[in-house]
């Protein structure tokens, strides 16, 4: 029956791909016994509630194996119907080309691009360690589960995976178990053409427990290896030798990787199994449901009993637990005002102080920096998260920016509110993971400090130029570049209260004066607002954000003396401004006013939208330079004088 | 005397930092004996010609050690004066905060952000292997050198470094020697807080030769380790135990990493050495010059003799060698026209065919794909570069996109013309290295295929949305998105002929019709041109590139029937268009024509610049979807009908 159950998995998978004439049969056939073992024999799951906080997590790092995942989710009762499998990869189906979080019941994460899956698993395992230590009481485990990842050769070649595995080994995340579908083949050819590492030696040296299963068809051995993994005090990687495209005419060839099998192969496999296309026999359904229910129904009920007892015996902790995993903290931002009321300070200082103050109240806030916490000022509370202190909410990620962002996605997917910080220019390293966070709508907070050429002496490799444009171009991400302490307060408030997208804050290294005020800056949540109105008539508009806003204010004064009456608009977040209605937008930036100067120490392409062809953007179209910050700023034209002259120039041109 | 020579190095370094009141004394003090050993005792260099093709290369991966590098370059005679050291990190000096290629004599690469240095070294070592095998004749070695990298703990934590080291081990790049400044400290604290790998075990498992030097002050042992490395048939990593901030009051503390030492410390160190601030005694200059000259003068002269004999005995190969390292091939693009004259084809097919055709003529063209050559169609000629075939110019990078781009920088820095390719959406993974290529002005060619939501079934993780904006925002990078075969031909021509910046080509997965022609498409080098003029009057302009251009052409026909007379502008490269004079720009996009519709299946922010507030951008502001490509395209509004309606709508609004 087990053989038939696995064969059914395989056939359903290749039938999906065959019908769609698109997909990846290789892994679906090769890794079927692994997926079977996990879902049918090992994982603590409850198909009726795919959001159960204490479920074992599963990450299909090799996301191209989606058809296999959908097949097992169907067979184990996760609310995916045969009709859904028939719509594999089709418009508006719940069975997309690669697994997508929030689209398909039972899918714990989006996992399209290779490399992201293992770091996400690392984040989930960290969240589990923390919550287990933070909330469990003797005999009352609210959180007590494993995180499983299925990866392929490609994943392990990705640097972000290597960063995350290095950290996972260091942190001894023993509840993390990676099943490595080792089939010797990758898209362009054989693995040995591109990688000849000693797998066991490498991962053991990185602090991992390594196990080997020589026959990927042998369910018992796979199961035993998983059970053995659970005994280890290290994370485990189980290398399972499989055959790509197992049972097809393309078996063991890279041709099986990414193209549908010959239709004949699919028919032949179906014939061997019996039944019609997409048919599952009653006995197979029964078999899967019995396996799942036998193991899990009791577990699930027991957990609910535990929860009820916990709630009764520890009502306060229970409330805290619920608040934490549901992210339902109410932060009193009024009480934080005193932290930002300085005459002049770097916004990174405000950012760090605020985040840390909130961390003391919000038990879900969890994160740190990629070896730059002394500079970014972001450091979680309760000490450093490490083997000895699972309560520590500061993560020393090491110089692993990409893994930091990818792990943050895993933390958020589990239930926490991750914060990660580094120099703004290094957001480049994190881009793929930031995109994933935005795609999944995860409430990750990125704190990017050392904005612009004002970074100074470290030079062009450390000075962001085009990074603001990069962030602003990512759908579903909110980027905020506050201009002073008050705006930073509201930026943090927006970040904390934004729960369906990530938020990036861009903060200065250098001191800047407090120029807005509590009332004005409250409009930050609208993305842009009038900070200083024209006096009588309106001759034009100056638009700025961040450290340039005070230059705009000064320019306004100078212009006024020269008889130009201008408005200054603070525009900390283009994304938030775009969410406003036309009426508000037109009130801030009246369409009829064509003389507009935007000032931004960045590439700033998105601002063209607001200045029009008659306006002028004072921006930077080249790389930075190594010089003291102030000198760099002047050399690149960010002076009151230049703003004033530019304004007058375009006014004259127009008239 | 050796002790004094090293002390001089150290003092000069900390005096630079002290004067600038900015910089990183920790590594400068700790790694001084390593740098001393390399420059004074090991490296084959000729300070009088820092562009000598056969010099040993040196990559300071830990770029924050710049002050140390500048000190040794001064002492060994590389045309850096004491006056330059005094201007460390100052405006317009040749001694910037982190080493910058083309700014400082003797600096072989820019090396600011951690992680990029080792991959650059890998690229240099690959170039050396190829050229050595390709051109050397018995007893006549034109290319025969080593590549040295000095890295710190941070570098080894970066994923891109891990990717590159994995590949270097696989490829047995035995001429690559990494000196690992192992000082147990990083910016935020100690290394053991974030990394507890078994260093020897890890790198041996990755195919590296590992050596250990327990005392970083012991020049002889360091030298012996290097000599031993040269005997290995693998790349070598030498872990040298050093003390960060050696000899200062901050020694062995992370406080020595990134802030100037107390002024007292600097004075004390100078006092111990003797002399005034920034003073170098005559005997020390003599000592360094004697060491350098003894070893190198003869080598350099001998190489020139070899070159002369080679030129005489193998005149054709010599010409080819010179053409290759100087990138002086003349490609007859006329002869390639037949390759692009299809009725309909995917531009990725043209791209691959053209690059490969040119590769047969151009011996410097070297590259491949990150495990997607079967999809991107880019595959170098003469077989795969591997241990057995150093002549192979196809590189199987494996699923290591970031290292691919970083290694490409190393290949270009050495002397080759690298090509790298992957799916466009994965350009995200390469961003930090693309930026480095642009910053250094390296002529790397990126071939990004599988443009836009037209990718279809693979879904949002595989569909680029914001990547065009990301590329366009990078200074000093040319991005070209050709619309058909003819434009692809000129895109490749532009890429091959552009030698002072990288070029990115963005190509389709799907077939698109040939709609331009040889004469019109020749204007691609101007970035934008009128593909189809209005008939009589001009009612508006449609702007498009890539796969949307043919939709614009169709829309023009439909509009004409409705009595709107429009112009269609093909705009394959915004960067090239911006290089044109105002006159040309105004001829293509007359300022007075306000009714403009730009059509792009991307986030497309840069196009706002060309449409103005009265125009309309048909773009994508959300992530993609899993569905067949054609369906995805229609669902997102990229239809002739929508273009026509949009045009009419804004025309009516205006009137």
DSSP one-letter string for A349-365:
HHHHHHHHHHHHH-TTE
B236: DSSP letter: E
**Interface touch B606/A605, C-beta < 8 Å:** yes
Residue B130 host element (H or E): helix B117-135
pLDDT reading at B654 higher than 90: no
φ/ψ of B186, rounded to 5, equals -135, -175
Q: Is A276 helix (H, G, I), strand (E, B) or coil?
A: coil
Nearest CA distance, A168 vs chain B (angstrom): 10
What residues of B are labeled active site?
401
- B97 vs A608: CB contact, 8 Å cut-off? no
A619 phi/psi in degrees, rounded to 5: -135, -165
**Which chain B residue has the Cα nearest residue A160?**
B159
Q: How far is A124 from chain B (nearest CA, A)?
A: 19
Residue B163's beta-bridge partner residues?
none
Between CA B396 and CA B388 the distance in angstroms is 14
- Answer yes or no: are the C-beta atoms of A66 and A60 closer than 8 Å: yes
Other CB atoms within a 10 A radius of the CB of residue B12 amount to 27
Instruction: Flag if A371 and B622 touch (Cβ within 8 Å).
Output: no
d(CA A121, CA A149): 6
Q: A189 pairs with which residues across the strands? A: A186
Q: How far apart are the first and last CA of chain B?
A: 85
Residues of B in contact with A398 (CB under 8 A): 154, 157, 186, 194-195
Q: What is the pLDDT of residue A655?
A: 63
pLDDT at A614: 82
Residue A227 CB contacts under 8 Å (≥ 6 apart), including other chains: none
Which residues have CB under 8 Å from A383's CB, separation 6+? A389, A391, A392, A393, A394
Confirm if B413 and B120 have CB atoms less than 8 A apart: yes
pLDDT band at B655 (very low <50, low <70, confident <90, very high): low
- Measured between beta carbons, which residues in chain A are less than 8 angstroms from residue B159? 158-163, 400, 402-403
For chain A, residues with pLDDT lower than 50 are: none
Torsion of CA B401, B407, B408, B414, to 10 degrees: 180
Looking at CA atoms only, how far is residue B23 from chain A in angstroms? 8
- Burial (Cβ within 10 Å: 0-12, 13-18, ≥19) of residue A227: exposed
What pLDDT is attached to residue A612?
81
- Measured CA to CA, the distance from residue A96 to residue B460 in angstroms comes to 9
Listing from the earlier edge strand, what are the strands of the sheet with A596-599? A529-532, A566-570, A540-544, A596-599, A616-618
Backbone angles phi, psi at B209, to 5 degrees: -85, 125
Do residue B159 and residue A155 have CB atoms under 8 angstroms apart?
no
Size of interface A-B (CB pairs under 8 A): 349
Separation CA B577–CA A560 (nearest Å): 37
Q: Which residues of chain B does A474 touch, with a Cβ-Cβ cutoff of 8 Å?
A: 466
B240, B181 contact by CB (below 8 A): yes
Q: Which residues contact A562 (CB under 8 A, 6 or more apart)?
A: A644, A648
- Out of A90, A400, A470, name the one closest to residue B159 (CB): A400
Asked whether the beta carbons of B572 and B487 are under 8 A apart, the reply is yes
CATH of domain A2-298: 3.40.50.970
Among the listed residues A433, A203, A459, the one whose alpha carbon sits nearest the alpha carbon of residue B89: A459
Q: Domain spanning A526-654: which CATH class is it, in words?
A: alpha beta
A645 Cβ neighbours under 8 A, 6+ residues apart = none
Tell me what the mean pLDDT of segment B9-18 comes to.
98
Quick check: B415 and B325 in contact, CB under 8 A? yes
Task: Find, in chain B, the residue whose alpha carbon is nearest to that of A396.
Answer: B194
- Cross-chain residue pair A159–B155, CB shorter than 8 Å: no
Does the distance separating the beta carbons of A163 and B158 come in below 8 Å?
yes
For B111, the closest chain A residue by CA position comes to A461
Give the H or E element holding residue A487: helix A485-497
- Do B111 and B60 contact (CB within 8 A), yes or no? yes
CA angle B630, B631, B633 (to 5 degrees): 65
Q: Report d(CA A234, CA A172) in Å as an integer.
A: 5
pLDDT-derived band of residue B71, with 50, 70 and 90 as boundaries?
very high
> Chain B partners of A375 at a C-beta cutoff of 8 Å?
187, 258
**CA B47, CA A8: separation in Å to the nearest integer?**
70
Specify whether the CB–CB gap between A402 and A430 falls below 8 A.
yes
* Spatial distance between the Cα atoms of B644 and B542, rounded to a whole number of angstroms: 10
ipTM: 0.98
Is residue B420 within 8 A of residue B367, CB to CB? The reply is: yes
| Alpha carbon A405 to chain centroid, angstroms | 6
Q: Is the pLDDT of residue B575 over 80?
A: yes
- State the nearest Cα–Cα gap between B58 and chain A, in angstroms: 19
Which residue, among A423, A444, A430, has the nearest Cα to A376 in the 3D structure?
A423
Report how far residue A540's alpha carbon sits from residue A543's, in angstroms, rounded to the nearest whole number: 10
Q: Which residues of A touch B205 (CB under 8 A)?
A: 197-202, 205
Active-site residues of A, by number, are: 401
Q: Which residues pair with A344 in a beta bridge?
A: A513
Is residue A340 classed exposed, middle or buried when 0-12, 13-18 and 19+ CB atoms within 10 A define those classes? Answer: buried
pTM exceeding the 0.90 threshold for the entire prediction: yes
Q: Over the Cα atoms of chain B, what is R_g?
A: 28
From B187, B204, B458, residue closest to A97, measured CB to CB = B458
Angle at A471 between CA A466 and CA A475, to 5 degrees: 140
Question: How far does the CA of residue A220 sit from the closest CA of chain B (Å)?
Answer: 29
Within 8 A by CB and 6+ apart from A19, the residues are A86, A88
Are residues A170 and B194, on separate chains, in Cβ contact within 8 Å? Answer: yes
User: Does the B333-518 domain belong in CATH 3.40.50.720?
Assistant: no
Is there a contact between A623 and B439 if contact means CB atoms under 8 Å apart?
A: yes
**Count of Cβ atoms closer than 10 Å to residue B614 Cβ:** 16
Question: Using CA of residue B12, residue B15, residue B21, residue B25, what is the dihedral sign?
Answer: positive
pLDDT tens digit string along B169-210? 999 999 999 999 999 999 999 999 999 999 999 999 999 999
CB contact under 8 Å between B22 and A402, yes or no, is no
Angle between helices B282-313 and B66-75 (to 10 degrees): 80
Q: Which of A536-550, B378-392, B604-618 has the lowest mean pLDDT?
A: B604-618
**B394 CA: distance to closest CA in chain A (Å):** 12
* Among candidate residues B190, B245, B236, B187, the one with its CA nearest the CA of residue B216: B245
Task: For residue B372, list chain A residues with Cβ-Cβ distance below 8 A.
Answer: 187-188
- CA distances (Å), B8 to each of A461, B75, B273, B277, in order? 28, 9, 7, 11
Q: How many CA atoms lie within 13 A of A399 on its CB side?
A: 23
CA–CA separation, A542 and A520 (whole Å): 17
Give the up-direction half-sphere exposure of residue B8: CA atoms within 13 A in the CB hemisphere. Answer: 26
CA proximity to A471, closest of A448, A494, A492: A448
Identify which of A194, A401, A466 has the shortest CB distance to residue B396: A194
Rg (CA), chain A: 28
Query: Which of A91, A98, A373 is opposite residue B635, by nearest beta carbon?
Result: A91
Q: State the DSSP string of A389-401.
A: -TT--EEE--S-H
Pairing of strands A478-480, A445-449: unpaired
Residues of B in contact with A396 (CB under 8 A): 188-189, 193-194
A67, A626, A630: best to mutate for the B interface, most B CBs within 10 A: A626
Domain ranges, ordered by start, for chain B = 2-298, 333-518, 526-654
At residue A137's C-alpha, the angle toward residues A131 and A138, to 5°, is: 135
Report the percent of chain B where pLDDT is more than 90: 98
- Report the Cα–Cα distance between both ends of chain A, in Å, rounded: 85
Please list, in sequence order, all residues whose beta carbon lies within 8 angstroms of the beta carbon of residue B349, skipping any fewer than 6 positions away: B377
* Cα–Cα distance, B402 to B393 (Å, whole number): 19
CB contact under 8 A, B90 and A627: yes
């Amino acid at each position: 029956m087990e053989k038939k159950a696995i064969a059914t998995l395989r056939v359903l998978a290749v039938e999906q791909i065959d019908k769609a004439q698109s997909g990846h049969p290789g892994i679906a056939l090769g890794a079927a016994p692994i997926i079977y073992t996990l879902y049918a024999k090992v994982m603590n799951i409850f198909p009726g509630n795919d959001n159960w906080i204490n479920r074992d997590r599963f990450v299909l790092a090799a996301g191209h194996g989606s058809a296999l995942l959908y097949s097992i989710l169907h067979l184990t009762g996760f609310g995916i119907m045969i009709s859904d499998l028939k719509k594999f990869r089709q418009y508006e189906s719940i069975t997309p080309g690669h697994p997508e979080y929030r689209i398909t019941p039972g899918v714990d994460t989006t996992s399209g691009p290779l490399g992201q899956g293992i770091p996400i698993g690392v984040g989930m395992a960290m969240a589990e360690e923390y919550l287990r230590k933070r909330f469990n009481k003797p005999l009352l485990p609210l959180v007590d589960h494993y995180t499983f990842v299925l990866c392929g050769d490609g994943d392990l070649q990705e640097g972000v995976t290597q960063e995350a595995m290095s950290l996972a080994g260091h942190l001894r995340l023993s509840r993390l178990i990676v099943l490595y579908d080792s089939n010797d083949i990758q898209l362009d050819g054989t693995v040995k053409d591109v990688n000849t590492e000693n797998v066991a030696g490498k991962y053991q040296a990185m602090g991992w427990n390594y196990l080997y299963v020589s026959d990927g068809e042998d369910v018992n051995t796979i199961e035993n290896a998983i059970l053995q993994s659970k005994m280890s005090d290290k994370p485990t990687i189980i290398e399972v030798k499989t055959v790509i495209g197992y049972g097809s005419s393309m078996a063991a060839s890279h041709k099986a990787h990414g193209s549908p099998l010959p239709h004949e192969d699919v028919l032949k496999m179906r014939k061997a199994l019996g039944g019609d296309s997409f048919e599952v026999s009653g006995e197979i359904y029964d078999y899967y449901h019995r396996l799942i229910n036998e193991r899990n129904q009791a577990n699930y009920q027991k957990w609910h009993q535990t929860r009820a007892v916990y709630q009764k015996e520890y009502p306060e902790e229970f409330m805290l637990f619920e608040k934490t995993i549901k992210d339902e903290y109410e932060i009193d931002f009024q009480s934080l005002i005193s932290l930002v009321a300085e005459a002049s300070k770097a916004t990174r200082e405000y950012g760090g102080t605020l985040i840390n103050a909130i961390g003391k109240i919000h038990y879900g806030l969890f994160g740190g920096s990629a070896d730059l916490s002394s500079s970014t000022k972001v450091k979680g509370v309760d000490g450093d998260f490490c083997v000895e202190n699972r309560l520590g909410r500061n993560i020393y990620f090491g110089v692993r920016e990409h893994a930091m962002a990818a792990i943050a996605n895993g933390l958020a997917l589990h239930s926490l509110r991750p914060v990660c910080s580094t120099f703004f220019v290094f957001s480049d390293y994190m881009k793929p993971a930031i995109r994933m966070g935005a795609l999944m709508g995860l409430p990750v907070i990125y704190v990017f400090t050392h904005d612009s050429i004002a970074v100074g002496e470290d030079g062009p490799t450390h000075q962001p130029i085009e990074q603001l444009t990069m962030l602003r171009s990512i759908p579903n991400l909110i980027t905020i570049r506050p201009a002073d302490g008050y705006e930073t307060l509201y930026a943090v408030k927006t970040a904390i209260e934004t729960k369906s997208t990530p938020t990036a804050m861009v903060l200065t290294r250098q001191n800047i004066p407090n120029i807005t005020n509590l009332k004005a800056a409250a409009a930050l949540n609208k993305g842009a607002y009038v900070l200083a109105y024209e006096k009588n008539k309106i001759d034009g508009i100056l638009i700025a954000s961040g450290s340039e806003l005070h230059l705009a204010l000064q320019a306004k004064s100078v212009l006024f003396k020269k008889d130009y009456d201008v408005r200054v608009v603070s525009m900390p977040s283009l994304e938030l401004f775009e969410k406003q209605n036309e009426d508000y937008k037109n009130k801030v930036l009246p369409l009829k006013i064509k003389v507009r100067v935007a000032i931004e120490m960045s590439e700033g392409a998105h601002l063209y939208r607001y200045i029009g062809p008659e306006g002028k953007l004072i921006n930077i179209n080249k790389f930075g330079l190594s010089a003291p910050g102030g000198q760099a700023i002047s050399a690149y034209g960010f002076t009151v004088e230049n703003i004033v002259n530019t304004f007058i120039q375009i006014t004259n041109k127009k008239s």
